[in-house]
Amino acid sequence: MTPERIARLRQVLDRRQPDLTVVTDFVHKQRNLSAIVRNCDAVGITRIHAVLGKAEYQAFRGTAMGSHRWVEVCHHRELAPALDALREEGYQVVAAHPGEAATDFRDIDYTRPTALLLGAERRGLGKRALAQADETIAVPMVGMVGSLNVSVASGIVLSEAQRQRQSAGMYDRPRLPPAEYRRLFFEWGHPRVRDFCEQRGLAYPPLDREGEIDRPADWYASVRAGTAARSREEKDG
């Protein structure tokens, strides 16, 4: 990697927000889901959660084919277990859904660990989903239309979350756990080696100070000899 590439990766990782995420509840249209991923990358979100039932997530070509490399999409079949896991980690669940009882989205404290819950196109969030939220928010509308596209709404709310967090200095220092920072730096900087290791159940090789694989010839030799370190998942299995 070039020094410029290394600097860019570190600049992005230094601003990632590990306690800000999005949960989509049966947002099936690939164009909308991919646009949400793009919005998440723009504000420093590392991981989102997509409840899709048995369906699979595929990035929409041309919308987030780049962004999906930088944002992990965790697939869930049901909403409740996904929200329960986030609550155990201390997240507040904020549901975006228009209605008279909804709070103005700007009145929420997004400096707290926050999961933004978004509903499907047209019908939005159902009663069960809304009942699992800590807060319900809406973007004030003064025109003739009654609601916004789900990806547009996510962009507006996430921009407010970014503004609050910037004011609080939450983008001024690295906030990712060190192990996750190192893993993402490797995966982003060496995608081919990442795929090679994942296919073979190998642990990632160490990097030198320049961000390159340390003594690559020795590592490849250990791979051929079958003595390279295995990944933790492979050992556990």
pTM here is 0.88
- Average pLDDT on 203-230 reads 91
- Quick one: pLDDT at residue 143? 86
User: With left for phi above 0 and alpha for psi between -120 and 50, is residue 211 left, alpha or beta?
Assistant: left
Distance CA 222, CA 163 (A): 48
- Average pLDDT on 62-90 reads 85
pLDDT above 90 for 87 = yes
CATH architecture of residue range(s) 18-167 = 3-Layer(aba) Sandwich (3.40)
Identify the three-state secondary structure at position 202. strand
Q: Please tell me the least confidently modeled range out of 3-12, 37-46, 59-68, 110-119.
A: 59-68
What's the first-to-final CA gap in the chain, in angstroms?
Answer: 33
Average pLDDT, rounded, for the chain:
89
- Quick one: pLDDT at residue 56? 61
- Quick one: pLDDT at residue 55? 62
- Quick one: pLDDT at residue 52? 85
- Quick one: pLDDT at residue 147? 76
- Quick one: pLDDT at residue 232? 64
- Quick one: pLDDT at residue 219? 93
- 226 confidence band (pLDDT: 50, 70, 90): confident
| Contact yes or no for 229/202 (Cβ under 8 A) | yes
- Quick one: pLDDT at residue 57? 55
* % residues pLDDT > 90 (the chain): 70
Pull the structure tokens for residue 65: 């084919």
Distance CA 57, CA 7 (A): 31
Per residue in 110-150, pLDDT (tens digit) is 999 999 999 986 778 888 899 999 999 999 988 877 778 99
Q: What residues does each domain of the chain span?
A: 18-167, 178-236
| Contact yes or no for 145/133 (Cβ under 8 A) | no
- Quick one: pLDDT at residue 49? 96
- Quick one: pLDDT at residue 148? 84
- Quick one: pLDDT at residue 66? 62
- Quick one: pLDDT at residue 221? 93
- 74 confidence band (pLDDT: 50, 70, 90): very high
Q: Which of 12, 1, 45 is nearest to 162 (CA)?
A: 45
